[in-house]
Structure formats: C-alpha cells, structure tokens
Structure 1
Amino acid sequence: MTSLHSVETPAALIDVQRMQRNIERMQTRMDHLGVRFRPHVKTAKCPDVTRAQVAAGARGITVSTLKEAEQFFAAGITDILYAVGIAPDKLPRALALCQRGCDLTLIVDNIDAAHALNDFGKAHGATFEVWIEIDSDGHRAGIKPEDDALPEIAHALQKGGMTLGGVMTHAGSSYDHSTPDALRQIAEQERAAAVRAAQRLREAGLPCPAVSVGSTPTALSAEHLEGVTEVRAGVYVFFDLVMHNVGVCTLDDIALSVLTTVIGHQQEKGWAIVDAGWMAMSRDRGTQKQTHDFGFGQVCTDSGTVLEGYVLSGANQEHGIVSCRVDVDHDIRQRFPIGTRLRILPNHACATGAQHPEYKVLLSDDSIETRPRFYGW
C-alpha cells in the first residue's frame, strides 16, 4: 500500500474526505434552493474529481477551455457549457465536438461574435446552442442587463440559425468581499441581473430557458434564487486561502495542499528551506490584497494540522521559504529538521493544481492513490 511517506515531493495532495464534504455541502445547498448545479471543472481538471461531483447530483459541467470540453466528453460527460466567449478560430473545434455527440453550449457577449457564429454556421450547415453573457458587477466580460445590445444580439443569433438557449453571469467581484452581508448582497445583485436580462429577452418575444449564475461565494451566500435555473461554481471542491479570507470556508475545509520536504535552513533569518517553490505553488499571491496575507501558502504538518503563524513567506522556482509571520524563529532548525514533511495550503487552488501533472489522493484509510490531471487549451 502506498503511503504519504513514500510520496516524492513536491506533490499536489487531495484530502478526499475534505473534498467529499465540500461536494456534499454545495450540492445539498443547491438542492435546498431548488436549482440545478453545474460545477466548473477548471479547478481540478480531473475526471475522477468530476465523477464525484456528478455522483453527488451535479448535472452538466462548466469548462473554461475546449481541451477541458474534449477531455470530459471523452470521459463520458456530454452536457458541457464552454463559459468563455468563443473565438471565431475555435469554431471548427467546437463543431467537431458537437458532431461527435457533445451537447456543447457556447457564449457570446457582443454582436461581432454573434455574426461570426452565424457566418460559420451558414458556411458549415451548423447550429450551436448559444447563451448571452451578462455583466452583473463590472468584474470582467458580459453586457449589462439593460443594454440595447442584449436583444440585438439575441435577434441576430436567432435570425442566423443559432439556438438561443439563455443567459449566464459570473459575480467575480464576490472575491473582493469578506462579510456575510456583503456576500448576500452581491449574490442578490448577480441573481437580479441575470433574471432581468432573461425578462427583457422574453418581453421581446425571444426564448430564454436557461438563467445561469454562479461563483463559489455567491452560491454559498444566496438567500434565494427565484428565476434562476442553474448555478455554477468551481473552487468550492477544494477551497483555498482566498476563499478562507472571503469567509466561505475554514482552513480545515481546504482539500488541496502541496506536500513538501525541508531541505535546508537559514537559522539566523529564521528560515526553513523546502522543495516547493513557485513552480509547485504558483505565483498567485491572491491573499496579498486581503485582510490576512498568507504569503505563498499556509504551513501545516504532514497530517494536515495548521501550524499557526508559519507561512511560505517566499518562493523561488524550486525553493520555498518557511518562516514565522510575527517574529524570527531562531529555533527553526530544531522545529523543522531536515527531512520534515509539511503540507502547504494554497492561495488559489486552480493555479496551484495547474502546476502539477497528477494528484496524490489521500484516502480515508491513509493510503495514497494517483489521479491524473491535464493541462493546456
């Protein structure tokens, strides 16, 4: 039986009990709110993780790359939302997926993209289901619910032979909040924007069967989802330090960590050097702008117990620096001898997972199994 002590470091480690608890928490909440749940699989990029989400009750998935769509379709999942505005040069690849039986939905948020879809469809005898992306908070992409372009895009898609399937939005600005009241407000803002956009389309005599919203903070904070048909969320499956600072999970909920080994010391500086640098953790410093800065990650024992005050304070390509946040620990060499195994909780689970070709999955009996993940676009 493979054990944690035999795993070569650095390694991306999934605590399966924590992950399963996170999956069940989210699915139970969505069931209670009476909406379909479509997880975003970009966080793990791992079919085994997604199978656990589907087994809990998820219906369909969200992806951020066509490679994800291809990989998960090959793994047997057919209902896939590609939640990034479609670039015209990717349409042949999207069509190939549809022709193989994938129920692939595309999104647009401007009239030029709609025309490009229509032109491609006409040239290839193709029809895509298309949703219109709504801007609910000024965070990134999408069009405002009251924008005149909304019905214009919808009419253009319908006249061009596309199937107008609905609207979707993502309240990415929810990551900038950290109180229950603020999160409830942004969740309601997200819901209201999507429902209003759907209402405008229907008032114009256009179909809008799907009303899709979602981010991990809003999914876990919404008081009701009247008018919404489905919710999307991704990072909840692992959680991370950013989500901890937002206030939607505890440190003990974080299911992804990087297993690392102490390889040296700078005792006068209070440093322990480990073999997990930014190539293992990523360069993401998402907690830097939040109320609690965890450096490059929170340090835990190899059994997962949080070591309060100790963080991965610095990172080079293959070297990490473990130190105490509040004072120079001159006993660092005795505290973390050469060969000590530690777990580092990540700032951003998606970015940290992306540094690794596979996961080491810690099972309930403390045995380890290896699960593949994939890269690229």
Structure 2
Amino acid sequence: MKLDELDTPAALVDISRMERNIARMQARMDALGVTFRPHVKTTKCLDVVRAQLAAGAKGITVSTLKEAEAFFAAGVTDILYAVSIAPSKLPRAMALRQKGCDLKLVIDNVPAAVEIAKFASEQRESLEVWIEVDTDGHRSGITPEQDALLEVGRILHEGGIKVSGVMTHAGSSYELHSPEALSELAEQERAGCVRAAQRLRDAGIPCEAVSVGSTPTALSAAKLDDVTEVRAGVYVFFDLVMHNVGVCSIDDIALSVVATVIGHQPEKNWVILDSGWMAMSRDRGTSKQAHDFGYGLPCALDGTPLNGWVMSGANQEHGILSPANPQLANGSQDESLAARFPIGTKLRILPNHACATGAQFPEYHALSDDGETTVWSRFHGW
C-alpha cells in the first residue's frame, strides 16, 4: 500500500531512518568494546528486533514476560527481564527456562531474594538473577554502597541461585540536554555499576555481567571500562524528547503517526485531525524541556517538518493543530486554514515518546524508500 493510501491514524516506521539509527548505535558499542543488548519494549516488534540482531546485537532486554515469551517463541533465547520480578510471576518465568530460554531475572530487595530462593528450592531447579543497582536516584535499585546489595547477593548465592550480573539504568539522563552533563552521567552510571559488581565479587559472590544503559548515556559515554554490555531502546526510533536531550536530530526520528485533516476552527486558528491522544498517547514528555512540542510535531506527508506548527491539544480521537507563533506559522495572513490544510490532507506527527505512541497501535506500517508500506505486527499486554 502506498503511504497516501493508509487509513488513519496509522503508526508509520521509516525503515531507512530506523536502519541508520540501528547502525549508529551498534557501531558505537563496537567501538567501545561492549556487547549490545537492545531493549525491545519500545517496538515489541519481531521485524525490528531481527534488524537489531542482524546488525550485531547479542540478546535482548524486555519489560514484560509476554515479550519474553513472544520473542523466545520466535527463536530469541538470550533474554533479560529488566523489571524486578513479582513472586507471583516466578512459575511463568520458570516455565520459560524449562523450555530452554536463557531468561535472566532482576530484583532489588531482600524479600524478593528470599522468595526466589524459596521458590527455586521447592522446584528443585535454579534461576539466574541479576541485581538492579541505582546509580542516579531515578527509579529503583540498590545503591552501590548499601548493605542490602551484599545481603541480597548472599541470600541468592547461598540459596543456590546464580547471581550472574548487576544492571542499572540512568533514566535521569532524559532530564539533561548538554553533551557535558550526559557524558558525566554516563561515567557515573558506569562507575556505580562496576563498583557494585566489585563489592559482590569481594564478598565471594560471582558476578560476571555489568550491564548499563539508557539511550542518552549509551550515545554519550567516553569509555566503558569493566562494563560487559549496554542496553538501550528508544534509539531505534528516537523521538522529540530525545531530540531535546540532544542525541538525535528531527531527521533521525523514525516513528510518526499518519493523521488526516477532518475540520477547521478558523476563529481559534485550529486545524482538527482524526488522531487524538488515543493515537499519540497522553505522554507530554517535552513539556518540562526547553522546547515544548505539545502532543507532537506535525510534518508534511513526505516528512518535512511544518515548523511553527504544533499539535497543541488532544481529545480521545481529535487532535488540534495550531500555530506555535501565529505571526510566523500562518505565512500569508490572507491564506486561510482551509486553503493551507484542505479537508482530507494527510500529515505525519512526530511523537514525544516513541514507546508510548507505539503502544497505542497493534501494528506498524513500515515505509520503504519507494513509498510502499508493509505491515509489521506488534503486540500488547503483559
């Protein structure tokens, strides 16, 4: 199907941009001498993951057991489930390992360690567990110097659980916007995770893997000494938040939503689209950054940004396009909205957060250079 024939709203992946993003990240990881384990929660799409693996990635990171099950069924065996596991999910995780999946679990607290050791003992089978380390106070994890790090490691190790790694995610990198700050945080992330691994080893607890990663720090690290692997996810599509952080250009953003003009409100200077927050998501991640893109940046159907316009509002199925600066965005003051954006005009809207926008759709339409699109399936749920 041709691009201009798509029913809207539709999630569009620009294949050339995506492949360029994949190659860029893989080349950087190769130059830094580390393994790359992409986080596939951004796309939840086998076609994308195959491209990442073909480029040189080793294994994948997932955020749900459903992702682990789906990608294992498709032949991917080396999987890190990078969310601290709830005890109720242990039977499901064990079932995957019994089928041959090299599934690694993550925890960051003593009660979870006790539950995992107890479960493995009852099942008379082992599990592989990594400990999450907090290197920037962004979310979860155990800080490198906390006593709990060694206590969790000891409970697992003495319970017959393989403690094979530590992992961290410098999520606060999304709040930065200068190369110097990003490089500094990347080093903080690296040093903290390496320190945690060394403390475990010094306590007699084997810890082979040292896994770090976020898209901004992966692209900003000056060195990754003693790190074994890096994880990143949104780099494959990029988005407006990443553009504001400073790690991609507008032309690198590979995901957009194709929308159709369905009305005008001249007295308000509004163009009405058929794509609201059910298509774009409610994520307003750029609202706290230097450049607020509203619900997304509109582009012509060929991908050319409509500078000076913004998707300023969104209801469930209606999007509102308006000039960010009326004096600059309207061009000729005699040009009406209806003349500039006729009913039926199709646009592409670049998202604030590719993970959130992608999650609104059951499939992607992958756009090749010849203007043809192919359907790539993705999945929902946990």
Supply the distance in 2 between the matched residues of 1:240 and 1:283 (Cα, whole angstroms).
Answer: 14
Other-structure match for 1:376: 381
Q: Deviations over 1:133-171 (max 9, x none)?
A: 000000000001001111111111011111110100000
Task: Tell me which amino acid in the other structure corresponds to 1:117.
Answer: I
C-alpha deviation, 1:324, in angstroms: 0.7
Other-structure match for 1:295: 294
Other-structure match for 2:321: 322
Q: Deviations over 1:17-49 (max 9, x none)?
A: 000000000000000000000000000000000
Supply the distance in 2 between the matched residues of 1:126 and 1:261 (Cα, whole angstroms).
Answer: 55
Task: Tell me which amino acid in the other structure corresponds to 1:99.
Answer: Q
Greater displacement, 142-151 / 32-41: 142-151
C-alpha deviation, 1:364, in angstroms: 1.9
Greater displacement, 319-328 / 309-318: 319-328
Map residues 1-377 of structure 1 onto 2, 5 A cutoff: 2-327=1-326, 329=330, 331-377=336-382
Supply the distance in 2 between the matched residues of 1:5 and 1:109 (Cα, whole angstroms).
Answer: 48
Supply the distance in 2 between the matched residues of 1:295 and 1:334 (Cα, whole angstroms).
Answer: 24
Supply the distance in 2 between the matched residues of 1:187 and 1:126 (Cα, whole angstroms).
Answer: 37
Q: Deviations over 1:108-146 (max 9, x none)?
A: 111110000011111111211101000000000000100
Supply the distance in 2 between the matched residues of 1:154 and 1:339 (Cα, whole angstroms).
Answer: 60
C-alpha deviation, 1:5, in angstroms: 1.4
User: How many residue pairs are counted as aligned between the two chains?
Assistant: 376
TM-score (norm 1): 0.99
Sequence identity (%): 67
Supply the distance in 1 between the matched residues of 2:229 and 2:30 (Cα, whole angstroms).
Answer: 11
SS in 1 for 2:258: strand
Task: Tell me which amino acid in the other structure corresponds to 1:215.
Answer: S
TM-score (norm 2): 0.98
Supply the distance in 1 between the matched residues of 2:300 and 2:125 (Cα, whole angstroms).
Answer: 55
C-alpha deviation, 1:343, in angstroms: 0.1
SS in 1 for 2:247: coil
Supply the distance in 2 between the matched residues of 1:13 and 1:182 (Cα, whole angstroms).
Answer: 32
Q: CA RMSD in A?
A: 0.8
Supply the distance in 1 between the matched residues of 2:103 and 2:162 (Cα, whole angstroms).
Answer: 12
Supply the distance in 2 between the matched residues of 1:277 and 1:126 (Cα, whole angstroms).
Answer: 49
Task: Tell me which amino acid in the other structure corresponds to 1:62.
Answer: T
Q: Deviations over 1:197-241 (max 9, x none)?
A: 011111112211000000000000000000100000000000000
SS in 2 for 1:146: coil
SS in 1 for 2:242: helix
Task: Tell me which amino acid in the other structure corresponds to 2:320.
Answer: I
C-alpha deviation, 1:311, in angstroms: 1.0
Task: Tell me which amino acid in the other structure corresponds to 1:154.
Answer: G
SS in 1 for 2:306: strand
Supply the distance in 1 between the matched residues of 2:125 and 2:351 (Cα, whole angstroms).
Answer: 43
Supply the distance in 1 between the matched residues of 2:343 and 2:24 (Cα, whole angstroms).
Answer: 39
Where does structure 1 lack aligned partners over 5 or more consecutive residues?
A: none
Task: Tell me which amino acid in the other structure corresponds to 1:341.
Answer: K
Supply the distance in 1 between the matched residues of 2:206 and 2:17 (Cα, whole angstroms).
Answer: 41
Supply the distance in 2 between the matched residues of 1:376 and 1:358 (Cα, whole angstroms).
Answer: 14
